[in-house]
Structure 1
Amino acid sequence: MIELKDVKKSFDGKPIIKGVSMVMEAGKCNLIIGASGSGKTVLTKCIVGLFKPDEGEILFENQNILQLEKKERKELRQQIGMLFQGSALFDSMTVEQNVMFPLDMFSNMSINEKKKRVNDVLARVNLKDSNKKLPAEISGGMKKRVGIARAIVLNPKYLFCDEPNSGLDPQTSLLIDKLIKEITEEYQMTTVVITHDMNSVMEIGDHIVYMYNGQKRWEGNNQEIIHSKDEMLNKFIFASQFLQDVKEMRMEEDKQKAK
């Protein structure tokens, strides 16, 4: 679990994060959504310790990351897995070497133990027998899955995903969403997803926070968002006429079921 208490952050005297509080639970996909400039990226960098908030608390399992010593922060960061927007694979390394990289950096495993662990996580993301391929030899969806394998190879308690479906076709995006949700529930990780993808919101949004102008404007799940009356949220989520029609149809269906 990750808890934020009244987190504030400014740059050059300009407030970017304006007193945000939330709780992100283990075993759930916690989504942070919002338009560009809404503060979601800065907030996420505060959570993982890349930025230090001006005020507030950030608790990992009731442990305030802002009060940890250097060694304790390093230990905590080893419990955090990251899936980057562009996968961020090393082009000159094979799939196996990319996934093994965190083990080389942070574990004392033997080479055989490392290879077994790499094989295990690659099998989990359905990339068995892809060990010796280079990133240039695999598809965008496969690169994302390699990124997920690398993110979970150290058995993290926390998983952060930055736009995991960026650049993927709709069908592949759904597969990545499904994989993230399955892994989150299987390993009981606290997963935080920063996304603009409304399919992700509706598919895996166990807990959704909508950021607007540096503040938490709305909070709920993928069922509650359909019935939200927040005008700014509805403009962001249901931007097209097609999506507005879908929202109205869904609400009407729910009304009929409730009768």
Structure 2
Amino acid sequence: MIRIEQIRKSFGDVEVLKGLDFTFEKGKTNLIIGKSGAGKTVLLKLLVGLLTPTSGKIWYDNVNFTELDHEAVRKIRMDVGMLFQGSALFDSMTVEENIRFPMDMFTKKTEKEKKDRVNYCLEIVNLEGVNDKYPSETSGGMQKRVGIARAIVLEPKYLFCDEPNSGLDPTTSIVIDGLIASITKENNITTVINTHDMNSVMEIGENIVLLNEGKIGWQGSKEEVLKSESDLLHDFIFASPFLQKLKDHVI
């Protein structure tokens, strides 16, 4: 679980986040949504420690993340997996080398233990046998799955995904959503996803927070989306004529 209390973030005279309170629940897919400029990326950077809040607290379970020293933050980050928007794989490394990189950096596992863990993670994302391929030899969807494998190789308690479906076709996006959701459930991870993808919202949105001009405009689950009377949510979710027809049909 990750909890934020009265989080504010300013850049100079511009206040981007204006006193946010929210709990990202353990074992659930927690989605951050909102229009461009709403503060989603800033919030995600605060959660992973790339930015420091102007005021407020961020709790990782019972630990106040905002008050930790450098060494304590490093220990927390050992429990964090990150799936970047562009996968962020090293072009000069094979798939296996990309996945094992965090283990090389942060563990003292034997070569066999690393090999076994890589193979296990590849099995989870349905990419058995691609160990020796380079990123350039794989598709965008495969690269995203390699990114997921690398993100979970250290068995994280917390998983952060920045626009995981960016640049993917709808079919592949569904596969990626399914993988993230199943990994979250099976490993009881606190997963936080920053997304614009409304299919993701309706497929795997168990705990959703809508940011609007630096404030929380709405929060709830995918089941509550279609029944909500929030104008802010409707304007964002049902901007597409297709989704508006779906809402009208369901309600």
Same fold per TM (> 0.5)?
yes
User: TM range, normalised to the smaller chain?
Assistant: over 0.9
1:146 partner letter: V
Where do 5+ consecutive residues of structure 1 fail to align? 252-259
Determine the structure 2 residue equivalent to 1:118.
118
- 2:39 is the counterpart of 1:44: no
* Residues 161-203 of structure 1: per-residue CA shift (max 9 Å, x gap): 0000011110110010000000000000000000000000000
Q: Equivalents in 2 of 1:198, 1:170: separation in Å?
A: 11
TM-score normalised by the chain length of structure 1: 0.96
User: Structure 1 stretches (4+) deviating beyond 6 angstroms?
Assistant: none
**2:222 aligned with 1:228:** no
Partner of 1:65: 65
1:170 aligns with 2:170: yes
Percent sequence identity over aligned pairs: 55
Mapping of 1:35-184 within 5 angstroms?
35-184=35-184
Read off the aligned partner of 2:131 and give its amino acid letter: N
- TM-score, normalization: structure 2? 0.99
Q: Which runs of 5+ in 2 are unaligned?
A: none
2:19 matched to which residue of 1? 19
Q: How many equivalent residue pairs?
A: 251
CA distance in 2, matches of 1:108, 1:140: 31
SS in 2 for 1:227: coil
CA distance in 1, matches of 2:194, 2:24: 13
8 Å CA contact 2:218–2:232 kept in 1: the answer is: no
User: Which residue of the partner structure matches residue 198 of structure 1?
Assistant: 198
Displacement of 1:13 after TM fit?
Answer: 1.6
Task: Please state whether the residue corresponding to 1:143 is helix, strand or coil.
Answer: helix
Deviation at 1:230, TM superposition (A): 1.4
Q: Deviations over 1:48-88 (max 9, x none)?
A: 11111011110001100111121111000111000000100
Distance 2:98 2:147 in 1: 8
Letter in structure 2 aligned against 1:223: E
Amino acid at match of 2:24: M
- Residue type of the partner of 1:148? I
Looking at structure 1, the residues matched to 131 and 26 of structure 2 have their Cα atoms a distance apart, in angstroms, of: 30
Distance 1:231 1:185 in 2: 32
State whether residues 28 and 190 of structure 2, in contact with CA within 8 Å, keep that contact through their aligned partners in structure 1: yes
Secondary structure of 1:183's partner? helix
RMSD: 0.7
How far 1:232 moved relative to its partner?
Answer: 2.0
The residue that corresponds to 1:243 in the other structure is 243
